[in-house]
Amino acid sequence: MPNKDQLMAVGQTCSEYDCSQENSQRSCESCNHWAGEQSMCDLDIFVEQLTSLDQT
């Protein structure tokens, strides 16, 4: 289960981020593709996006 920091980091860098809410913080949780912690991303790219982040 991803934590808030991971959701924000992926949301900031995801090329497929799509949000119809104005003034929302860019995070997976505000993305239209986010289906919740159990299903995660509808596009099935969350884990790929997370592991591609520079985690140094």
Q: What does the pLDDT read at residue 15?
A: 92
pLDDT of the residue at 30:
95
The answer, yes or no, to whether residue 56 has pLDDT greater than 80, is: no
> How many domains is the chain partitioned into structurally?
1
Residue 22 has pLDDT above 70, yes or no: yes
Q: Which two tokens stand for residue 12?
A: 């900031």
Q: By the 8 A CB rule, do 7 and 27 touch?
A: yes
> Taking the model in full, what pTM does it have?
0.85
Q: Range of 20's domain?
A: 4-52
Distance, CA of 3 to CA of 11 (rounded, Å): 12
In the predicted model, is pLDDT for residue 55 greater than 70? no
Q: What is the pLDDT of residues 31-48, one digit of tens each?
A: 999 998 788 999 999 999
CA distance 28 to 43: 12
